[in-house]
Amino acid sequence: MPELTFAEKLLIARKQLDLFQYEMAERLGVHPNSLTKYERGEGKPHAAVVRMFDLLCEQQGIRFDDYEKASNSGATDKGAAMKIVLAEKVSPATLAVFQAEPGWDVKTHDQLPDGLPAALADADALVVRSAVQVDDELMAHAPKLRVIGRAGVGVDNIDAEAATRRGIVVMNTPGANAVAVAELAICLMIALARKLPAANTSMHAGKWEKKNLQGSELRGKTLGILGLGRIGLDVARRARGFGMEIIGVDPFVSAAVARENGIAVVPMEELFAKADYLTLHVGLTPQTHGIVNAKTLATMKKGVRIVNCARGELVVEADLVAALKSGQVAGAALDVFTVEPPKDSAYFGLDNVILTPHIAGSTAEAQEAVGIQIAQQVREYLKLGVVQNAVNLPSLSHEEYVQLAPFIDLAGRLGSFLAQAGKSGTPPQQTKGGLVGGPGLESIALIYGGALAEVKTELVRNAAIAGLLAGSENVNRINAAAVAAERGIRVHEEKEESHRGGAATVLTVVLHTAQGESRASATVIHGEQPRLLAFDGIDVETPLEGTLVVCRNLDVPGVIGRIGTILGQQGVNIANFALGRERLNANVAGKPVKALAVVQVDEPVSESVLEALKVIEALLEARLVKLTNGN
């Protein structure tokens, strides 16, 4: 009787032990990336790793006999037969993953004579890329559907909320194209440095303009990386080979991970001021939208070159065009645009701009990798019930999920609030919300009080981490803990049966950075309304939603009135004004007491509002916090 592979055993063991990848990696003494490769069947594990795994299984009483019997009987057991619908063209290697399973009925995109809805009537799994729109109406034709696999990162074409309601797992393949994107970013830097597009054009025109095409080397230049997720780190590793000095900004990468990759983590303004080349690798959030604008471009080194393979909306296009024309920016290479495909773009005709049609992830290897990866993920879910890279899966019963849903939402909001308002190494008025500089986040502590101490809190924890890491790419409530581990951030959880004060159920999140500690507590009232209860030692009750102006100030007369007056002068309407002050020094004669004001305002609010508030002498700092549903 053939045995299960090591990859299959790993997945089974992780399911039985209810461990995330990073947790299993810690138990086996390997890096999380190595564990990911083992689970995909890539590479042979070291004998020591196998011994550690066998010992763990023995200690935990994990046996694989039943799974091996089920695997062998799959060809004759009708219950093991599965129907897989591949709604878009896939590679032969992707198809082979499914066809290797005995008894599985695999339908490709060209084998659906009656259309996709009809094919889904008895399907167990659906695999798509980006063209097919998987909405609630389509899912209504698939009563047996258990999993939807997206061969790629984005899931904009899949209604994940509708899938959740129907109990369908939605999976994607984050990181599978990281190498492709990183390589294009390096390629575009070289093209800018050596003026390759102009050289190619002049040669095709029959010209020999060698003197006009003198370029520069990457060696010794400073590369600024905005966002140190998988792609940003891959760029850093490759840039080191060119002898570049690498600096980066990402508050959610530990100092240890940065050091391992030869990156000096610096404040945002230092990154802009020092970079000879700036490459963008952050996700799109309210805080990163338009982060490259006239103001930040003016702070950059004259002659900087900018590469964007992330999201077009990170750049204010009109401001970049002006900087390119003035010479403030020597060149730009853009693979992404605010509107795709761009029409009548101001970039057209600029000879110091390289434009590519969103091809960063479009390599044969990347497309093959995402196809094989999603096929393996879907197969392991259908065979073993092991979920990988799900974007919507609640590990709770329906009743538990309904009860916990308000606190999952609360956790995301609280994490996002701390990411934008918590302590950092950069003066807050000079940042764009949550993406700030400094050595980065070292650890996160979550304290569950009251009823939260008695329930499963994995999704609450992950929602809080996802809110904190919202500036990073591809972070959601399913993979948040693994992403935190990958970035070297420790996560600690505590449960308290009771909590002081009037709220029966309280969630507290504490961030530890080199600059100190930031702490916030919150609860849900009336079953659905998120409320902030305290922030950095000061009790304050305010709705945790919408747009907030968070002001720290000395508790002296006139501050509250001046905040209200200035907001009014700026045309900002106040929806709620909450106040609090610290108790620690309240009775110490001569020592100023610090106070906190959290002002909920109506949109629109710009950074200029914070600038206007600076005239208040007793104001220590002001930050703009934007919270949306699903943070």
What is the CATH classification number for the domain harbouring 31?
1.10.260.40
Q: Is the pLDDT reported for residue 587 higher than 60?
A: no
Residues 6 or more apart whose CB falls under 8 angstroms from that of 589 comprise none
490 is written with which tokens? 């420790």
146 & 248 share domain: no
Burial of residue 358 (CB within 10 Å: 0-12, 13-18, 19+) is middle
pLDDT of residue 147: 94
Phi, psi angle pair for 444, to nearest 5°: -130, 130
569 is written with which tokens? 């002068």
pLDDT of residue 42: 74
pLDDT of residue 396: 53
230 & 261 share domain: yes
Rounded-to-integer distance, Cα 460 and Cα 400, Å: 12
E strand or H helix at 602: none
E strand or H helix at 619: strand 619-627
pLDDT digits (tens, 9 = 90+) for 114-156: 999 999 999 999 999 888 999 999 999 999 999 999 998 778 7
CA angle 486, 391, 480 (to 5 degrees): 25
End residue of a domain, out of 76, 95, 116: 76
Q: Is 191 helix (H, G, I), strand (E, B) or coil?
A: helix
Torsion angle in degrees (nearest 10) through CA of 359, 184, 391, 443: -160
405 & 464 share domain: yes
260 within 8 A of 313, measured Cβ to Cβ: no
408 is written with which tokens? 């999952």
Tell me if residue 398 is catalytic: no
Amino acid of residue 104 = W
Q: Is the pLDDT reported for residue 414 higher than 50?
A: yes
532 is written with which tokens? 């902030």
Beta bridge partners of 557: none
pLDDT of residue 430: 35
578 & 471 share domain: yes
57 is written with which tokens? 């299984």
Name which of 224, 325, 229, 225 is nearest 276 in CA terms.
224
Q: Which of 109, 146, 305, 311 is catalytic?
A: 311
615 & 474 share domain: yes
Strand order in the sheet with 490-496: 490-496, 441-449, 506-513, 516-525, 529-535, 538-543
Q: How confident is the model at residue 479 (pLDDT cuts 50, 70, 90)?
A: low
Lowest mean pLDDT among 211-220, 421-430, 499-508: 421-430
What is the DSSP code string of 356-405? Answer: --S-TT--HHHHHHHHHHHHHHHHHHHHH----SBSS--SS-HHHHHHHH
pLDDT of residue 452: 85
For 334, the domain range is 178-355
Across 86-99, average pLDDT: 91
263 within 8 A of 248, measured Cβ to Cβ: yes
Tell me if residue 270 is catalytic: no
Beta bridge partners of 226: 249, 280
Amino acid of residue 421 = A
E strand or H helix at 333: strand 329-334
Task: Give me Rg for the CA atoms of the chain.
Answer: 26
pLDDT digits (tens, 9 = 90+) for 515-532: 788 899 999 988 788 999
Across 77-101, average pLDDT: 84
12 & 109 share domain: no
E strand or H helix at 412: helix 398-421
351 & 462 share domain: no
Q: Is the pLDDT reported for residue 434 higher than 70?
A: no
Across 339-356, average pLDDT: 92
Q: Which of 27, 31, 289, 358 is catalytic?
A: 358
Strand order in the sheet with 594-601: 574-581, 594-601, 546-554, 619-627
Lowest mean pLDDT among 102-106, 333-337, 368-372: 368-372
211 & 335 share domain: yes
Number of domains making up the chain: 4
Which span out of 21-35, 180-194, 471-485 was modeled with the highest average pLDDT? Answer: 180-194
Name which of 100, 623, 162 is nearest 391 in CA terms.
162
Q: Is 262 helix (H, G, I), strand (E, B) or coil?
A: coil
pLDDT of residue 208: 94
599 & 536 share domain: yes
End residue of a domain, out of 303, 330, 355: 355
Q: Is the pLDDT reported for residue 432 higher than 80?
A: no
pLDDT digits (tens, 9 = 90+) for 395-408: 455 566 677 888 88
Residues 6 or more apart whose CB falls under 8 angstroms from that of 47 comprise none
Torsion angle in degrees (nearest 10) through CA of 64, 66, 72, 74: -120
195 & 141 share domain: no
33 or 103, which is more confident: 103
208 & 219 share domain: yes
Name which of 451, 454, 455 is nearest 499 in CA terms.
451
Q: What percent of the chain has pLDDT over 90?
A: 41
CATH code, domain carrying 551 = 3.30.1330.90
pLDDT digits (tens, 9 = 90+) for 439-466: 567 889 999 988 888 887 888 898 899 8
Residue where the block lists tokens 């599978």: 176
CA angle 483, 408, 127 (to 5 degrees): 60
CATH code, domain carrying 235 = 3.40.50.720
Rounded-to-integer distance, Cα 115 and Cα 132, Å: 12
Going from the C-alpha of 216 to that of each of 309, 325, 517, the distances in angstroms are: 22, 20, 44
pLDDT digits (tens, 9 = 90+) for 590-621: 677 889 999 999 877 787 888 888 889 888 88
Across 245-258, average pLDDT: 84
What is the DSSP code string of 508-564? Answer: EEEEEETTEEEEEEEEEETTTEEEEEEETTEEEEEE-SEEEEEEEEE--TTHHHHHH
Going from the C-alpha of 615 to that of each of 377, 565, 618, the distances in angstroms are: 56, 12, 9
End residue of a domain, out of 373, 390, 407: 390
Q: Which of 137, 260, 340, 528 is catalytic?
A: 340
169 & 184 share domain: no
Taking phi over 0 as left and psi of -120 to 50 as alpha, with beta for the rest, 236 belongs to alpha
Residues 6 or more apart whose CB falls under 8 angstroms from that of 343 comprise none
Tell me if residue 582 is catalytic: no
Q: Is the pLDDT reported for residue 629 higher than 70?
A: no
Lowest mean pLDDT among 172-186, 225-239, 387-401, 546-560: 387-401
